[in-house]
Every structure is written in C-alpha cells, then in structure tokens.
Amino acid sequence: MPVSPASAGAMAFAGSPIDRADNIRVDPAALGNLMNWRARVLNLDGLLPEFDDDGRLLWHTLADVQPDAELVFLGMLDDRAHFAPVPTEGASGPAMPRAWQVMQMLRPEELAIYGGARSLIDWHARHRFCANCGAATKLVKGGWQRNCDACSAQHFPRTDPVTIMLVEHEDKLLLGRQPRFPPRMYSALAGFVEPGETIEEAVAREVHEEAGVRVRDVRYIASQPWPFPSQLMIGCTSVADDPEITIDRTELDDARWFTRAELEDARAAGPDGNELLIFPQKFAIAHHLVTWWLDK
C-alpha cells in the first residue's frame, strides 16, 4: 500500500489542537463570558508571531490589548478562550524569507495555530469595508463573519483552492521553478482553481498552460492549508503520455523531468540539496507529495 503524505510526516499548518467551538462563536453571551482574565491573546508583530526559544507561541492577556482592538476568537484550548488581534495598519505581510524562518522554528502544533490565526486576521484587515456598498463593516460571530449595517451584506473569511500536482512519465517527475525560487530549487507545478472547473480540470489546464504537457488520470492525494494569505493546497498526481515540454516563461523559469535516482539523491543531500536540485522544503506540501511518490 502507498504511504500517504499525511503519514509521511506532519503537514505544516495542519493539526491545530484548538477546538474552533462554533457553538460559542455564534453565542455573543457565551463568548462574552469567556473574555476574562484567563483568556489568551496571540502576541503578534504585524502578521508575524512572537515565540520562545522552544518554538512555542507567546500570548498576552486581555489586559494587554487596546480597548478598541478587534479580536478574532480562534477557539478553546486548555479550557481557555484564545484570540488573535486584527492588525490596525493593514495586512502587507512579511517578506517570505522571514516567514520561512518562522515556519522552521515553530513546533508543528504551534505553527498550525498560527497559520489559522494569520489567515483570519489577514482577511479582516483587508475587509474593513463592504465590497457591496463601501460602508464600514463590523466583526461578528467572534470574527468568523463581518456584517455591513448599511446594506445588510454579510461577508465570510475566504479560502482559495489551489491545485499542486505531480506529473509522472516513465518513472520520472515533472517539476518546475518560478523566478522567485533560489537557484536549484524545483517544486511541483501549481495554480488556482478557476470558476466553473473541477479540480481535475484545473490540474490539466495548469500543467498544459505552464509546461505544455497534457495529463490524464488525475487523482487526489492530500491537502494543506497555506496562510499566505489563505489558500487550500490540493495535492494531486497525474500521468503524461508525451514528455515534450513547452515552458510558459511568464510563469516558470524552467521545468524538467527528474528521475527517481536524481530525486532520491537530492532528498538524501538534505536542505541544501545537491548540485542538481534542492528537494522541496518540509513545510511545503510538495515535499510530502514527492516523498509519497518516491516511497510508494
């Protein structure tokens, strides 16, 4: 039996220990009763978390928060309500190199808590005004909704689906590199699911658009929440009959087929890779997908 990516190692940003407690978020009185001295508020520097030397998130109490701060109810943990503050200066977000450092320093369960919080507060910072009429909106349901009193529109945190896919041909995998990637770093091809298409159609379209390769037999493998800003990475595998590549240079710097031996060697070489390839990083679903393919 093939080993699933989920069992090959912890998927970054998944597995949060927090109980989202929907029954509380829809009950203003119950939520208000939990906003006491025991409640915890996530320490943030903009959109980046503060944490200790052991990779554990740091938390404030409500006494440390400005009275007019917008707080998102993350849920319950250890019988205490946990919140995250919405940034007051917008949501520009940190540079990705700094975010990558954070991802590697936090414990897996702490990273999952932070990922969920980041997605929510980033959405709130970007949606203070109604997309329907332009009036100011207000936070309701503990931060899992914003309402517009002017036109009665309701707005909900969004998650954007993204396909990320392996393409296999004669025991080789097709990987590509984007212009922003460091030298020698390749990963699985990926792209947003567009309106009016299935996951399978999105996989086929994106692979053909980016690499000029036609694929079939698309299968779902695993998924990963990705809070930059708020995506669901839908990991799939597919098969190509014709290996000829035509690269869309507006999307990719390069794309090529890698043999099983080349991928195994890059994995064994560690985070810095070998002279040919840097294996996808452990916090990315591409790492789990390629690992699954090598180990199946």
The letter for the amino acid at 12 is: A
pLDDT value for 202: 98
CA 69 – CA 83 distance, rounded (Å): 11
pLDDT for res 197: 98
Could you tell me the pTM of the whole model? 0.92
pLDDT in the model for residue 90: 54
**DSSP H or E segment with residue 290:** helix 285-295
Backbone φ and ψ for 273, nearest 5 degrees, come out as 70, -165
Rg (Cα) of the chain, in Å, rounded?
A: 21
Q: What are phi and psi of 241, to 5 degrees?
A: -90, -30
Q: For residue 216, what pLDDT is reported?
A: 98
Assign 28 to helix, strand or coil: helix
* Dist CA 203 CA 163 (whole Å): 6
Which residues, 6 or more positions from 63, have their beta carbon under 8 angstroms from its beta carbon?
Answer: 37
Tokens 């912890």 belong to: 10
Predicted local confidence at residue 92, as pLDDT = 53
Task: Give the list of residues 6+ apart from residue 1 with CB closer than 8 angstroms, or none.
Answer: none
Q: Which residues of the chain have pLDDT under 70?
A: 1-9, 89-96
Segments in 26-82 forming alpha helices (H): 28-34
Q: Which DSSP letter does residue 278 get?
A: B
pLDDT for residue 88: 80
**Tens of pLDDT along 29-64?**
999 999 999 999 999 988 999 999 999 999 999 999
Q: What pLDDT, on a 0 to 100 scale, did the predictor assign at position 289? A: 97
DSSP 112-132: HHHHHHHHHHHHHHH-SB-TT
